[in-house]
Chain A
Amino acid sequence: MNVVYFAWVRERIGLPQETVETSAATVNDLIAELKQREERYAAAFADTSALRVALDQELSDFDAPLAGVKEVAFFPPMTGG
């Protein structure tokens, strides 16, 4: 699946997006997998209360299932307006 990052999450991980091969069942499972990769992922995902997630461009939750999802996005709370 395509995993995309925005704002400081993108800067901390050092990538705007990447293709991730995973069998993670939920967003939380995916985060656990990513955190094990490298320190920069562990740092970005250290506090998920500071993060938001979108699945296929719709805001979602960390316990949401990933079955059928093509794009997962992680970003901080939005600051539009």
Chain B
Amino acid sequence: MRVLVQSEAFDAGAELNRFSAGHSGVGAVVSFTGVVRDSDGDLQEMVIEHYPGMTEKAITKILEEAMSRWALADALVIHRHGPLKTGDQIMMVATASAHRAAAFEAADFLMDYLKSRAPFWKKEVTDAGSAWVEAKDADEDALKRW
């Protein structure tokens, strides 16, 4: 289990290769990478604020919950903060399990919880000014699935 909260860019391919290696009995590795999207074509940057200290604790708790609910061999979360540009990788999640169902479900669970329960806040800076991204009711509702 590994949690990385950092401002620096990461190499998703290298991280996935490192994560996938060295697990005997693993038949499935699922990964998700979140990328900065320019919805309206005028994004200058996306700034991600976080709560140092709580962020690491909250993600660890979410990972521990996933490890207890699914038969995972391992799980990884990397989440960046600070100023990012369109196309930059924001975060990645990876799960490893004997079979794909557990790996897919656990990755989906991790994404839902990271979105609404890890203390990050996104601010979009556009040509028109800057605005905090508002949480969606759908994101909160997604937690009820679990």
Contacts and interface: CB of A to CB of B under 8 A. Distances in A.
Interface of A: 4, 6-8, 54, 57-59, 73, 75-81
Contact of B121 (A4, A6, A54, A59): A6
Contact of A7 (B34, B49, B111): B49
A80 B51 CA distance: 12
Nearest to A77: B135
Contacts of B79: 80
Interface string B103-133: 0000000010011111111110000000011
Contacts, number: 70
Contacts of A78: 115-121, 135
Contacts of B140: 77
Given A54-B119, A80-B118, A81-B90, 5 more contacts: A4-B51, A6-B119, A6-B121, A54-B54, A75-B51
Contacts of B115: 78-81
User: Which range holds the interface residue count of chain B?
Assistant: 20 to 34
Contact of B49 (A6, A54, A58, A77): A6
Contacts of A79: 115, 120-122, 132-135
B135 A54 contact: no
Contacts of B118: 78, 80-81
Contacts of A77: 116, 134-135, 140
B23 interface: no
Nearest to B111: A81
A78 B119 CA distance: 6
A73 B135 contact: no
